[in-house]
Amino acid sequence: MTPARNPDTRTLATVAHTAFFLLLGASLVRFLLRHPGDPRTPWIIALSVTLALLYVLGPALGIRDAAPTPRRLVWLGLVVATWVVLVVLAPSFAWCAVPLFFTALRTLPPRAAIVLVALLTTFVVIAQLQLAKAFDPNLLLAPPAVAALATAVFVHMERQTQAQRALIDDLIRTRRELAATERREGTLAERQRLSMEIHDTLAQNLSSQQMLLQAADRTWDTDPATARAHVRTATGIAAHGLAEARRLVHDLAPSELADGAGLADALRALDAGPEIEVRFHLEGTPTALPDRVQSALLRIAQGALANIREHSGARTAALTLTYLGDQVVLDVADDGHGFTEPEPTAAATATTPQRGHGLPAMRARVRQLGGTLTIESTPGEGTVLSASVPLEPAP
């Protein structure tokens, strides 16, 4: 039976060790008082000292914390043998068996420990009957009752300890599994965020450059001035994309919001290409917005303008940033050809229902902030995208 390492068992072990030495000392004093000058006295004293040293030797060598090894069994055998000899010479030492019950239960496997406790109990009964001048039923029943009680207490504590140990192991395993799950979820969320960042910046910039360069190629011979203007615009977009890429590598913050620039200024500076006029409106009293809210709304505006440029056929687009006290709302409207809005579960963008990362990325950004994203579009009448984000009340 393996030792249980918990405060209750350690307390029980301390009590058992203290009781053993008290009973051993009391038995020795009783023998010396009852049998002065007895020729057995030197043997009794020598065996008592030997038993005490053996009892101390086990814990000192770490035997109590070891598995059932031959050294451990030899130590227990020497302790029990020395005690048996003492009891044969002086039956009053029989009561030292009570702490030995605990030692046997901690040292041996359960079945072997119970067998040894039964043998020790039998030996105690015989020794007590020898001391009695007449038959006493208490001497026959008390030692087995004490042994049974000690065994039951120890077995109960051992089972409780094992149950607690199993519960702790389960808790530790569950905590590790939760940590692993959180790491996986964090990794997936970060990958999704990176994909949205790349879609809303680098991919859109590259798409704009492609359209401008294609337009320049078509007009290169017939209208060189316009072609050069397209090339210059594409060069500017490329420079902006390079700055955005460096910003993504640095801290994934929008370059438009760098150096303390506000969301309104960043939105006012956005464009959708040379063929689309972009207007910006600010309504309400501006308040300080968290960085993640500013970043999300800017990315949504960029994504919406990219969709307008690529798919709507619009000539004008309007960005409206509205502060409503408890929330901030970004509206992006265009006068394009619109579309029939798909079912809410379908993957869609502001102007084309089945378009890659656009609308799902916008919805994900708004959802992460606890807001809502709505789209109103009618074929031939343009599209209005509205992103609403709640704000925490100011302290």
Read off the pLDDT of residues 140-155 as tens digits, 9 standing for 90 and up: 676 777 777 777 777 7
Residues 6+ apart with CB under 8 A from 167: none
Give the range among 107-111, 136-140, 154-158, 295-299 with minimum mean pLDDT.
136-140
pLDDT at position 386 is: 93
Among residues 336, 331, 279, the alpha carbon closest in space to that of 307 is found at: 336
Among residues 26, 10, 16, the alpha carbon closest in space to that of 100 is found at: 16
| pLDDT score of 4 more than 60 | no
Burial environment of residue 197 by CB neighbours within 10 A (0 to 12, 13 to 18, 19 or more)? buried
| pLDDT higher at 7 or 183 | 183
pLDDT at position 385 is: 92
| pLDDT score of 65 more than 60 | no
Give the tokens for residue 39. 């020729």
CA dist list (Å): 260 to 197, 200, 289, 389: 20, 21, 12, 21
Looking at residues 333-339, what average pLDDT do you find?
85
| pLDDT score of 6 more than 60 | no
DSSP helix/strand/coil, 319: strand
- Spatial distance between the Cα atoms of 338 and 64, rounded to a whole number of angstroms: 82
Give the range among 151-155, 175-179, 221-225, 375-379 with minimum mean pLDDT.
151-155
Inter-residue contact 369 to 296 (CB < 8 Å): yes
**Percent of the chain at pLDDT exceeding 90:** 8
pLDDT digits (tens, 9 = 90+) for 215-228: 888 888 888 888 88
pLDDT at position 7 is: 64
- Spatial distance between the Cα atoms of 365 and 383, rounded to a whole number of angstroms: 20
Q: Average pLDDT, whole number, for the chain?
A: 78
Residues 6+ apart with CB under 8 A from 119: none
- Listed ranges 65-69, 151-155, 274-278; the one with the highest mean pLDDT: 274-278
| pLDDT higher at 32 or 152 | 32
Give the range among 42-56, 61-75, 146-160, 312-326 with minimum mean pLDDT.
61-75
> Alpha-carbon torsion 346, 348, 354, 356, what sign?
negative
pLDDT at position 160 is: 79
Looking at residues 40-58, what average pLDDT do you find?
85
Burial environment of residue 285 by CB neighbours within 10 A (0 to 12, 13 to 18, 19 or more)? exposed
| pTM greater than the 0.95 cutoff | no
- Spatial distance between the Cα atoms of 117 and 101, rounded to a whole number of angstroms: 6
Looking at residues 176-189, what average pLDDT do you find?
79
Please report where in the chains the tokens 């265009």 appear, as a residue.
334
- Spatial distance between the Cα atoms of 56 and 17, rounded to a whole number of angstroms: 9
- Spatial distance between the Cα atoms of 184 and 176, rounded to a whole number of angstroms: 12
